[in-house]
Structure 1
Amino acid sequence: MASKIHYQANICRGDFQHVLECFGDWKRQSLVYRKNQTMFEGKREVRPLTERTFSNGELAHNMLAQTCSPHDSYALAARIRDEERDLWLVMAAYEE
Protein backbone atom coordinates (compact mmCIF):
# COMPACT_ATOMS: atom_id res chain seq x y z
CA MET A 1 0.00 0.00 0.00
CA ALA A 2 1.37 3.42 -0.97
CA SER A 3 2.00 5.90 1.80
CA LYS A 4 -0.23 8.91 2.03
CA ILE A 5 1.09 12.42 2.63
CA HIS A 6 -0.59 14.78 5.05
CA TYR A 7 0.36 18.28 6.12
CA GLN A 8 0.52 20.23 9.35
CA ALA A 9 0.11 23.98 9.10
CA ASN A 10 -0.24 27.03 11.28
CA ILE A 11 -0.29 30.78 10.76
CA CYS A 12 1.07 33.84 12.52
CA ARG A 13 1.58 37.53 11.93
CA GLY A 14 4.76 39.57 12.17
CA ASP A 15 8.21 39.26 10.67
CA PHE A 16 10.19 36.06 10.15
CA GLN A 17 11.78 36.38 13.61
CA HIS A 18 8.26 36.12 15.04
CA VAL A 19 7.65 33.03 12.87
CA LEU A 20 10.72 31.44 14.48
CA GLU A 21 9.37 32.21 17.96
CA CYS A 22 5.91 30.85 17.11
CA PHE A 23 7.46 27.70 15.63
CA GLY A 24 9.24 27.03 18.92
CA ASP A 25 5.95 27.45 20.80
CA TRP A 26 4.02 25.26 18.34
CA LYS A 27 6.55 22.43 18.70
CA ARG A 28 5.62 22.16 22.39
CA GLN A 29 1.87 21.92 21.70
CA SER A 30 0.01 18.63 21.34
CA LEU A 31 -1.99 18.03 18.21
CA VAL A 32 -5.73 18.23 18.75
CA TYR A 33 -6.36 15.05 16.75
CA ARG A 34 -3.30 13.12 18.07
CA LYS A 35 -2.72 13.95 21.72
CA ASN A 36 0.47 11.86 21.91
CA GLN A 37 2.14 13.85 19.11
CA THR A 38 3.33 17.46 19.08
CA MET A 39 2.90 19.91 16.26
CA PHE A 40 5.72 19.86 13.69
CA GLU A 41 7.22 16.82 15.43
CA GLY A 42 10.52 15.80 13.83
CA LYS A 43 11.07 19.19 12.16
CA ARG A 44 14.07 20.95 13.65
CA GLU A 45 13.57 24.39 12.14
CA VAL A 46 11.44 26.55 9.88
CA ARG A 47 12.80 28.14 6.71
CA PRO A 48 11.29 30.74 4.40
CA LEU A 49 9.99 29.16 1.20
CA THR A 50 11.07 32.10 -0.95
CA GLU A 51 11.54 35.86 -0.82
CA ARG A 52 8.24 36.14 -2.68
CA THR A 53 5.15 37.45 -0.91
CA PHE A 54 1.97 35.66 -2.00
CA SER A 55 -1.22 37.59 -2.73
CA ASN A 56 -3.49 35.00 -1.10
CA GLY A 57 -3.46 31.96 1.15
CA GLU A 58 -4.48 29.49 -1.53
CA LEU A 59 -1.46 30.32 -3.71
CA ALA A 60 0.88 30.06 -0.73
CA HIS A 61 -0.70 26.78 0.43
CA ASN A 62 -0.41 25.22 -3.02
CA MET A 63 3.24 26.24 -3.41
CA LEU A 64 4.10 24.93 0.07
CA ALA A 65 2.31 21.63 -0.61
CA GLN A 66 4.28 21.21 -3.85
CA THR A 67 7.58 21.98 -2.13
CA CYS A 68 7.29 20.25 1.28
CA SER A 69 8.56 16.69 1.56
CA PRO A 70 7.99 14.26 4.44
CA HIS A 71 11.75 13.64 4.43
CA ASP A 72 12.58 17.31 5.15
CA SER A 73 13.96 18.01 8.62
CA TYR A 74 12.34 21.45 8.52
CA ALA A 75 9.03 23.20 7.94
CA LEU A 76 8.58 25.91 5.31
CA ALA A 77 6.98 29.34 5.70
CA ALA A 78 5.37 31.51 3.03
CA ARG A 79 4.52 35.18 3.52
CA ILE A 80 1.02 36.24 2.50
CA ARG A 81 -0.12 39.82 2.08
CA ASP A 82 -3.58 40.56 0.77
CA GLU A 83 -5.88 43.55 1.20
CA GLU A 84 -6.92 42.52 4.71
CA ARG A 85 -3.90 40.92 6.36
CA ASP A 86 -0.17 40.30 6.41
CA LEU A 87 0.78 36.87 7.78
CA TRP A 88 2.90 33.75 7.40
CA LEU A 89 1.68 30.24 6.60
CA VAL A 90 3.97 27.55 8.02
CA MET A 91 3.64 23.99 6.69
CA ALA A 92 5.35 20.61 6.93
CA ALA A 93 4.65 17.30 5.17
CA TYR A 94 4.38 13.87 6.84
CA GLU A 95 3.86 10.31 5.64
CA GLU A 96 1.07 8.20 7.11
Structure 2
Amino acid sequence: MKTNTNKTLSQFDITILVISFVIGMGIFGTPARVAAAAGSPAIFFSVWIFFGFVSLCGALAFAEIGLRFTEMGGFYKIFAKAYHPSVIFP
Protein backbone atom coordinates (compact mmCIF):
# COMPACT_ATOMS: atom_id res chain seq x y z
CA MET A 1 0.00 0.00 0.00
CA LYS A 2 1.44 3.33 -1.08
CA THR A 3 1.17 6.25 1.34
CA ASN A 4 1.14 9.89 0.44
CA THR A 5 4.27 11.56 1.80
CA ASN A 6 3.44 14.99 0.40
CA LYS A 7 3.04 17.23 3.46
CA THR A 8 2.29 20.53 1.77
CA LEU A 9 -1.08 22.24 1.73
CA SER A 10 -2.73 23.00 -1.57
CA GLN A 11 -4.49 26.27 -2.33
CA PHE A 12 -7.81 24.51 -1.79
CA ASP A 13 -6.72 23.30 1.67
CA ILE A 14 -5.68 26.80 2.71
CA THR A 15 -8.93 28.29 1.39
CA ILE A 16 -11.00 25.79 3.38
CA LEU A 17 -8.94 26.52 6.51
CA VAL A 18 -9.46 30.28 6.20
CA ILE A 19 -13.20 29.87 5.61
CA SER A 20 -13.53 27.59 8.63
CA PHE A 21 -11.58 30.04 10.82
CA VAL A 22 -13.84 32.93 9.78
CA ILE A 23 -17.01 30.93 10.40
CA GLY A 24 -15.68 29.62 13.70
CA MET A 25 -14.76 33.09 14.95
CA GLY A 26 -18.21 34.35 14.03
CA ILE A 27 -19.99 31.48 15.73
CA PHE A 28 -18.00 31.60 18.95
CA GLY A 29 -17.31 35.34 19.21
CA THR A 30 -20.51 37.07 18.20
CA PRO A 31 -23.02 35.50 20.65
CA ALA A 32 -20.92 36.56 23.65
CA ARG A 33 -20.90 40.19 22.50
CA VAL A 34 -24.62 40.10 21.73
CA ALA A 35 -25.43 38.56 25.12
CA ALA A 36 -23.40 41.26 26.87
CA ALA A 37 -25.22 43.99 24.95
CA ALA A 38 -28.70 42.47 25.46
CA GLY A 39 -28.79 43.26 29.14
CA SER A 40 -30.72 40.22 30.33
CA PRO A 41 -30.75 36.53 29.44
CA ALA A 42 -34.50 36.64 28.70
CA ILE A 43 -34.04 39.28 26.00
CA PHE A 44 -31.05 37.45 24.52
CA PHE A 45 -32.80 34.08 24.29
CA SER A 46 -36.12 35.48 23.09
CA VAL A 47 -34.40 37.34 20.24
CA TRP A 48 -32.34 34.24 19.48
CA ILE A 49 -35.47 32.06 19.30
CA PHE A 50 -37.37 34.63 17.23
CA PHE A 51 -34.65 35.01 14.61
CA GLY A 52 -34.09 31.26 14.60
CA PHE A 53 -37.75 30.99 13.58
CA VAL A 54 -37.23 33.65 10.90
CA SER A 55 -34.24 31.67 9.57
CA LEU A 56 -36.33 28.51 9.53
CA CYS A 57 -39.02 30.30 7.50
CA GLY A 58 -36.38 31.44 5.01
CA ALA A 59 -34.99 27.91 4.71
CA LEU A 60 -38.47 26.52 4.12
CA ALA A 61 -39.10 29.18 1.45
CA PHE A 62 -35.91 28.17 -0.39
CA ALA A 63 -36.92 24.51 -0.06
CA GLU A 64 -40.29 25.32 -1.61
CA ILE A 65 -38.61 27.15 -4.48
CA GLY A 66 -36.38 24.12 -5.05
CA LEU A 67 -39.42 21.85 -5.04
CA ARG A 68 -41.38 23.91 -7.56
CA PHE A 69 -38.45 24.65 -9.90
CA THR A 70 -36.42 21.46 -10.04
CA GLU A 71 -34.03 22.65 -12.73
CA MET A 72 -30.83 24.55 -11.96
CA GLY A 73 -31.26 28.19 -10.95
CA GLY A 74 -34.77 27.99 -9.51
CA PHE A 75 -34.33 31.08 -7.34
CA TYR A 76 -33.02 33.08 -10.30
CA LYS A 77 -35.89 31.89 -12.49
CA ILE A 78 -38.48 33.09 -9.99
CA PHE A 79 -36.95 36.56 -9.95
CA ALA A 80 -36.54 36.54 -13.74
CA LYS A 81 -40.27 35.88 -14.16
CA ALA A 82 -41.39 38.25 -11.41
CA TYR A 83 -39.19 41.31 -11.99
CA HIS A 84 -37.60 43.32 -14.76
CA PRO A 85 -34.10 42.22 -15.87
CA SER A 86 -32.65 45.43 -14.42
CA VAL A 87 -33.48 44.10 -10.94
CA ILE A 88 -31.68 40.81 -11.59
CA PHE A 89 -28.67 42.35 -13.34
CA PRO A 90 -28.13 45.71 -11.62
Same fold at TM > 0.5: no
TM-score norm. by structure 1 comes to 0.24
Higher relative contact order (CA 8 A, sep 6+): 1
Q: Which has the higher helix share?
A: 2
Which protein shows a greater Rg? 2
